[in-house]
Structure 1
Amino acid sequence: MTDRRKYNPRSILSWFEEDRPREKFTKKGRSALSDAELIAILIGSGTVDHSAVDVAKIIMNSVGNNINSLAKLSVKDLKKHRGIGQAKAVTILAALELGRRRSDIIAVQKRKICCSEDVYEEMKPYLLDKPHEEFWVLLLNRANHVTRTAQVGLGGVSGTPADVKMIFKLAVEHLASSIILVHNHPSGQLIPSLADKRLTEQIREAGRILDLPVLDHMIFTDAGYYSFRDSEEF
């Protein structure tokens, strides 16, 4: 009996099996798939004119084929693409969030802070891809192990408040021996502002009075960081 189904290059089912994202994932492994193909698996189906892979490629092209930029989009942003509804947009962003949280599972013995790079790695799960500013504090024990990481300020695109009293209240309640300050600049700007410098000195002075030293203040961006201690401003 003749198969009357017409060949449709837009339909994944009409592709060679080894070229279909799910089959390719199973046979060749996850690393064999492009970012667009992985996203196509998440969204499942395309539109009348575009396959799921085509839709995924359009989405990736819109963010310069940069996964970090994709992670910064909102559900509303993704729904602007034809073929992406609420459920598919949420699925994509949920998968990206899981990927970010994976790096948050760090063995305790690896959480000792020895340099500014350790601080940057510690904060990636919390601050990577954030579109607004946040202020965080790392609480350390006498051996410089992180005992707690806490958000102490949430702001907008160009600033975030930080309550000095709340920072040290948190540190005292958790018996911290020292603290490290971290806030992000979504703009990518690595040069501290005058306000950053003033706040840093204010918190350092409070730490001296309480015998709770501030070891560093880091400005975090997706592409790198600025450490007050490394810059010898401490």
Structure 2
Amino acid sequence: MDNYEQKLGIKAWAEADRPREKLLLQGRRQLTDAELIAILIGSGSRSETAVDLSKRILSFYQNDLAKLAKLSVKELSKFKGIGEAKAIAIVAALELGKRRKETEEDGPIKITSSKDAYLILKSELTDLPHEEFWILLLNRANFVISKHFISKGGQAGTVVDPKIIFKVAIEQNASSIVLAHNHPSGNLTASEADIKITKQLVEAGKVLEITVYDHLILSDHSFLSLADERLM
């Protein structure tokens, strides 16, 4: 027991501090994923260093940061040694990393294909454990005006209110819109409900002279265009 406690004393705390020192001396790119997460966690316990705790969490998710990025504060807090504050720090850092991937182009972005719309919307609709519905607003020349969150649902679906969609479009003087929602399951097949609501929105848009160009279904790594598939 004495040897065990001695091992977890100064030696353990020194290891927990090393990621910070390593970052200062060698730069952030020299740190492993576990070491970077350990800096966010800040400290471990007498039985486990911050680095070891980070390794345990990463190992549970096959060292896949994409899977880790999907976790909620509640899910992260289930790991022994991760309280709410530490879980919040990890979630916030991973969200910043995700946003960092978004590339901002100079000047307005023009939509010429379903892929163009996908590239703009994927940052909002990937790494989510639930469904969300968003719209992309375009002007008469098909340049993007803005993107808007419409609704949030569970794992199996989300409620879409046409009145909210077209209210936003009218307020922003949009000439056309692109609909989008995600399938957390990764299944890119359009359901009967997806097709039905799309056709309803297309018809409603005709009355208001707002064209519904497309409806995208996104997974974490790909997408389906109902327009390309001629399902709308």
The aligned counterpart of 2:43 is: 45
The aligned counterpart of 2:217 is: 219
The aligned counterpart of 2:118 is: 120
Q: CA deviation at 1:107?
A: 3.4
Q: How does 1:1-234 map to 2 (within 5 A)?
A: 11=12, 13=14, 20-104=18-102, 106-107=104-105, 109=107, 111-234=109-232
| Structure 2 contact 108–144 (Cα < 8 Å) conserved | no
| Structure 2 contact 134–180 (Cα < 8 Å) conserved | yes
Q: CA deviation at 1:101?
A: 2.8
Question: In structure 2, how many angstroms separate the alpha carbons of the residues matched to 1:139 and 1:209?
Answer: 17
Question: In structure 2, how many angstroms separate the alpha carbons of the residues matched to 1:124 and 1:202?
Answer: 24
Q: CA deviation at 1:195?
A: 0.7
Q: CA deviation at 1:147?
A: 1.0
The CA deviation string for residues 112-148 of structure 1, in whole angstroms up to 9 with x for no partner, is: 2222222222113322211111111111012222112
Kindly, what percent of the aligned residue pairs are identical? 49
| Structure 1 contact 220–226 (Cα < 8 Å) conserved | yes
Which range moved further: 20-29 or 40-49? 20-29
Question: In structure 1, how many angstroms separate the alpha carbons of the residues matched to 2:20 and 2:110?
Answer: 40
The CA deviation string for residues 64-99 of structure 1, in whole angstroms up to 9 with x for no partner, is: 211121122222222222221121111111111222
Gaps of 5+ in 2: 1-5
TM-score, reference length from structure 2: 0.88
The aligned counterpart of 1:3 is: none
One-letter amino acid matched to 2:51: V
The CA deviation string for residues 159-207 of structure 1, in whole angstroms up to 9 with x for no partner, is: 1111112211221221101100001111111000011111111111122
One-letter amino acid matched to 2:56: I
| Structure 1 contact 10–51 (Cα < 8 Å) conserved | no
What's the secondary structure of 2:107's corresponding residue? helix
Q: How many residues align?
A: 226
Question: In structure 2, how many angstroms separate the alpha carbons of the residues matched to 1:172 and 1:200?
Answer: 18
| Structure 1 contact 10–50 (Cα < 8 Å) conserved | no
Gaps of 5+ in 1: 1-5
What's the secondary structure of 1:109's corresponding residue? coil
Question: In structure 2, how many angstroms separate the alpha carbons of the residues matched to 1:25 and 1:45?
Answer: 16
Q: Say if 1:79 and 1:154 are closer, same or farther in 2 by CA, change over 3 A.
A: closer
The CA deviation string for residues 23-80 of structure 1, in whole angstroms up to 9 with x for no partner, is: 2223332222221111011112112122111100001111221112112222222222
Which range moved further: 101-110 or 59-68? 101-110
